[in-house]
Amino acid sequence: MTDDAWTILYRGPLSSCNYGCTYCPFAKTSNTRAELAEDAARLERFVTWVQEINRPVRLLFTPWGEALVHRAYQQALATLSHTPHVGTVSIQTNLSCKLDWLHSCDWTRAALWTTWHPTQTPRQKFLTQCERLEADGARYSVGVVGMKEHFDEIEQLRQELPPHVYLWVNAYKRDPAYYSEQEVRQLMDIDPVFPVNNRRHASLGRACRAGHTAFTVDGDGHARRCHFIKDVIGNIYEPDFPNRLAPRPCGTATCGCHIGYIHMESPGLTQVFGDQTLERIPLGWPHQRPDPAQISALAEGGVAG
Ligand code: SF4
Ligand code: SF4
C-alpha cells in the first residue's frame, strides 16, 4: 500500500446498540426497520464508491452504537476485504454478534477492532467469541476502558487471551489525576502504548493528515477532516472531491482519541503501528513489544488529562 493511500473512517446514520453501558447515549437504543434499511442503503452506496474509485484506501467503520450485529455491515466488511485496492478494512465492535459469516472475509485485509465491556458481558463469554475468531483466522485487537474497578478482570483477560492478540487499554481521562504512577505502570504491562492514550495531545496549529490523506465520511457522503471537527470539507460523491483535500493545520486545542491523533505528524504513531494503525495492532506484536523509551517520547508532546 502506497503512502498516498486515503485513510477513510465511515460513520452512517445507524445509532443503536444492544448493550447498556451507562455512559453511552446509544445504550439499549434501537433503530426502526425503515431506519436500518436507510442506513444499509447508504452503506451500500459507500461500498460501491470505494470499489469504483480505483485508488489505494484504508478503511475503518466507526459506527455510533453497534453495527456488526447487522448483516449489511458483515457483508460490507467481506466485500471490501476482497477489493484489491483496499489495504485494510476494519470495524469497531463489541463482538456480541453471531460469527457465522467470518469465513466470507479475506483476513489478510479485514480486521476487527473489538472492545470488551465488563459490565455488559462476562469475560468468559467474550473469550468464547475470541476463540471463534481464532478458529476462523480473523485478525483482531481487543480493547477495554481502564476503569480501576476492572483492573483485576483486565489482567485476567490478558492472561486468557492468546499472547499474539494485542490488548489495548483506553485511559479514563475525565479525571486528569485518575491514575497513580504505579497504576500507569500496571496498565503498561498490559498495553505498552497506554501512555500515548493517557494524554490529550496538543494539536492546535500542528500538522495533521486529517483533511489531506485522511477523512471521515457520513451516510450522505459528506466528508469532514475527522470526527472532532464538524466542518464539511466536501462530498465524496461529487466528482471534484479530490480537489477538496489539502494539508491543513489542526484547528482544535487537543486531540485525545486513537482515531484522531494517529493522523498527526507528531506523535508519529505510524512508527508503532505501521500499516496496522486502523486495526490498532502494533507492528511485530507480540515478538517485538513497543520500546518504553520510544512510547514515552511519543507521549511526551501531550498534555496530562
Ligand atoms: S457497546 Fe459501545 S455503543 Fe454499545 S452501549 Fe456500550 S459504549 Fe455504547
Ligand atoms: S489533530 Fe485530531 S482533532 Fe486535529 S485535525 Fe487531526 S484528527 Fe482532527
Percent of the chain with pLDDT strictly greater than 90 = 89
Kindly list the protein residues whose Cβ atom lies closer than 6 A to any atom of ligand 1: 17, 19, 21, 24, 26-27, 65-66, 94, 117
pLDDT tens by residue, 209-254: 999 999 999 999 999 999 999 999 999 999 999 999 999 999 999 9
Cis, peptide link before residue 290, omega less than 30° from 0: no
Q: Which protein residue's CA is at the shortest distance from atom 3 of ligand 1?
A: 65
Label residues 201-215 b or e (16+ Cβ within 10 Å = b).
Answer: bbbeeeebbbbbbbb
pLDDT of 3? 66
Whole-number percent of the chain with pLDDT over 70: 97
- Kindly give the distance from the C-alpha atom of residue 186 to the centroid of ligand 2, in angstroms, as a whole number: 29
Q: Using a 6 Å cutoff on CB, does residue 260 contact ligand 2? A: yes
What's the 53 CA to ligand 1 centre distance in angstroms?
32
Reply yes or no on whether the pLDDT at 194 is more than 80. yes
228 lines ligand 2 (CB under 6 A): yes
Q: Which residue shows C-alpha cell 476482497?
A: 82
User: For the segment 80-127, what is each residue's pLDDT rounded down to a tens digit?
Assistant: 999 999 999 999 999 999 999 999 999 999 999 999 999 999 999 999
Mean per-residue pLDDT, 27-39? 97
Atom of ligand 2 nearest to the CA of 228: 3
What is the SS3 assignment for 152? helix
Please state the separation of Cα 286 from the chain's center in Å.
Answer: 20
Q: Which residue ranges make up each domain of the chain? A: 6-304
User: For ligand 2, is residue 263 a contact (CB within 6 Å)?
Assistant: yes
> Maximum distance among all alpha carbons in the chain?
54
Long-range contact set of residues 188-193: C-beta below 8 Å, sequence gap at least 24: 188/292, 190/154, 190/155, 190/158, 191/166, 191/167, 192/282, 192/289, 192/290, 192/292, 192/295, 193/168, 193/272, 193/282, 193/290, 193/295
Question: For ligand 2, what atom is nearest to the CA of residue 262?
Answer: 7
Using the predicted structure, report yes or no on whether residue 1 has a pLDDT greater than 90: no
Q: Average model confidence (pLDDT) for the chain? A: 95
pLDDT the model gives residue 304 = 41
State yes or no: pLDDT of 305 exceeds 50. Answer: no
Atom of ligand 1 nearest to the CA of 94: 1
For residue 72, what is the enclosing H or E element? Answer: helix 71-81
pLDDT, residue 112, reads 98
- CA–CA gap between residue 21 and residue 19 (Å, rounded): 6
Please tell me the predicted confidence (pLDDT) of residue 98: 97
CATH number for the region 6-304 comes to 3.20.20
- 269 C-alpha vs ligand 2 centroid, how far in Å? 14
Banded pLDDT at 301 (limits 50, 70, 90): low
Interior CA angle at 236 toward 201 and 264, to 5°?
15
Alpha carbon nearest to ligand 1 atom 6, residue: 21
The answer to whether the CB of 120 falls within 8 A of the CB of 43 is no
| Ligand 1 pocket mutation pick from 15, 24, 96 by most atoms within 8 angstroms of CB | 24
Ligand nearest to the CA of 15: 1
- At 255-298, the pLDDT tens digits run 999 999 999 987 789 889 999 999 999 999 999 999 888 898 88
Closest ligand 1 atom to residue 64 Cα is 3
pLDDT at 298: 85
SS3 for 112? Answer: strand
* pLDDT single digits (tens) 59-83: 999 999 999 999 999 999 999 999 9
Query: What pLDDT is recorded for position 54?
Result: 86
38 residue type, one letter: E
- Tell me if the bond preceding 239 is cis, omega within 30° of 0: no
Structure confidence at residue 143 as a pLDDT band (50, 70, 90):
very high
